[in-house]
Amino acid sequence: MAKTVQQSRKRVVDDSPPSSPPPAAKRRTATARKSTGGGPPAARTSNASAGPSKASRRASGGQGQGDAAPRKKRFRPGTVALREIRRYQKSTDLLIRKLPFSRVVREIALDMMTDTVDYGAAGLRWQSSAILALQEATEAFLVHMFEDANLCAIHAKRVTVMQKDIQLARRLRGSNGALA
């Protein structure tokens, strides 16, 4: 009886074509992965609704679904900053908007007014040329301050201007903080 079982096994092995591996060799064990929740693994790994794969997107030129909007050109870090520096150094126009600056000046002036002087409901009145002169002086002061702070940062072997650079620049300027 034992002989017939062995013979039948031999027949099964002999009946299969020699080129195909045995059925046990085709089976693969699943590698353990950290679960992120959300159902069985087969439902999570389904690529039917995920869209095109990374390889197919790369082959199609990097365009996503629809090819409606081409991607905006991405410059290397620092390129846009250098371009902005050149643009602002070329121009002579004001960097701060006029209306917000005017509101800040009027607010500070109202805070500085004493209660003994009554200017009525309108408060102080300003000539436009006075606010423009204040804005020109303020921007010149700030630009010069950032130039000095940038030199302090470069001296510290850094390229990023930090708060301590501005504090050092103010301290080196002296008590009046003139444009010198």
The 3-class secondary structure across 54-73, one letter per residue, is HHHHHHCCCCCCCCCCCCCC
- Rounded-to-integer distance, Cα 97 and Cα 31, Å: 61
Q: Look up tokens 């059925």; give the residue.
A: 23
pLDDT digits 0-9 by tens, 83-117: 999 999 999 999 999 999 999 999 999 888 866 56
Whole-number percent of the chain with pLDDT over 90: 45
Find where tokens 């062995």 sit.
Answer: 6
Share the mean pLDDT of the chain. Answer: 78
**pLDDT tens across 108-153, in order?**
998 888 665 666 666 789 999 999 999 999 999 999 999 999 999 9
Task: Please give the helix or strand (H or E) that residue 86 lies within, else none.
Answer: helix 79-90
Please tell me the predicted confidence (pLDDT) of residue 177.
73
Q: Name the residue with higher pLDDT: 28 or 177.
A: 177
Residue labelled with tokens 């909007």: 69
20 vs 130 pLDDT, higher one = 130
Please give the model's pTM, rounded to 2 decimal places.
0.56
pLDDT at 7: 57
Phi, psi (rounded to 5 degrees) for 161: -80, 125
Cα 6 to the chain's mean position, in Å? 71
Query: At the fourth CATH level, which superfamily is domain 91-115+123-173?
Result: Histone, subunit A (1.10.20.10)
Cβ contact 158:149 at 8 Å: no
Q: Domain limits of the chain?
A: 91-115+123-173
